[in-house]
Amino acid sequence: MEKLDPKFVIFGEIHGSVESPAFIGDVACGLLAQGKRILVGIEFHATLDGQLQAAWQLPDVEFRKQLSTIGWAGRTDGVASHAMFDLLLRLHSLKDKGAAIDIVAFSGPRDIAQQVRFERLPRQGPHEAAQAENIANAAKKAAYDVVLVLVGDFHARRRMVGEGPDQFEPMALRLAPSGRLVSLQLRHAGGTSWNCQLKPGLQLRPGDPVPADAIACGAYPVAGSADLHHAPFLQLGPGPGDAASADFDGFFWLGPLTASPPQIPAVDMRAAPARK
């Protein structure tokens, strides 16, 4: 990190793996060992940030109890996973021992005022703009040396998405004016991740809403790159055999991926026994 010297490091991940949150924890530990003050951004909804900040001030035992009530229940898309829960416990334990580390939940508009300010942006622009502003505002609250952001790789892109009047800025592109930024794309050797997909054989017409019962969440295979046979690391520039990309400044390598299920499993009410 000393060679890169960025203000913001964006890790564009595939949600629902064991390895990705664990890697962010390792990077955070390394920076703290260098005496850095850091902020870690997680892709939980910004409306939960007040609760998260209050919990962050608690001792470890109380933090664990309070954390389990903030944003985990009912979320099965791979974001609110066992691995993410373990990451936050790990980071809080470091904070509890005196490390200079904070967190922020940044995803989506934090309030109606922010939602209204960005609502005229095209397509997904309002969501991306809110993410960027929430991260930038959190970064101004203390003299952080580095801000680590774990987010889906779509939001981590550094160039416009879409065509013509439908073009919009992904979060990383919009955040870039706030400070020197490095965006890294996940590379891996395949395996599994926990995510939500259309049920096999189901076809929807473009533009049709997706019914809730059309989605199945679980551990799915993910196609990876050729195995580098290397421990996890990060690097600027393209990976071996890859062409340079304007979307990302480099990559982080995690090897094979392992699916991490939701911290709080979803309850299928249709299968629940009737009350007597």
The domain segmentation of the chain, as residue ranges, is: 8-190+224-271
At 152, list the tokens. Answer: 């889906």
Q: How high is the pLDDT of residue 151?
A: 97
**pLDDT tens sequence across 88-145:** 999 999 999 999 999 999 999 999 999 999 999 999 999 999 999 999 999 999 999 9
Please give the Cα distance from 224 to 227 (Å, whole number).
8
Q: Find, among 46, 51, 144, 138, the residue nearest to 99 by Cα.
A: 144
Please give the Cα distance from 204 to 35 (Å, whole number).
52
Q: pLDDT class for 265, splitting at 50, 70, 90?
A: confident
Please give the Cα distance from 251 to 94 (Å, whole number).
26
Average pLDDT, the chain: 91
Please give the Cα distance from 97 to 271 (Å, whole number).
44
In the structure, how many helices (H) and strands (E) does the chain have? 7, 9
Please give the Cα distance from 45 to 5 (Å, whole number).
28
For domain 8-190+224-271, give its CATH number from 1.20.140, 3.40.50, 3.40.30, 3.30.70.
3.40.50
Q: pLDDT class for 4, splitting at 50, 70, 90?
A: low
Percent of residues, the chain, with pLDDT higher than 70: 93
Please give the average per-residue pLDDT across 3-31, as a whole number: 94
Question: What are residue 191's DSSP bridge partners?
Answer: 222, 257
CB atoms within 10 A of CB 179: 14
Please give the average per-residue pLDDT across 53-69, as a whole number: 96
Q: pLDDT class for 275, splitting at 50, 70, 90?
A: very low
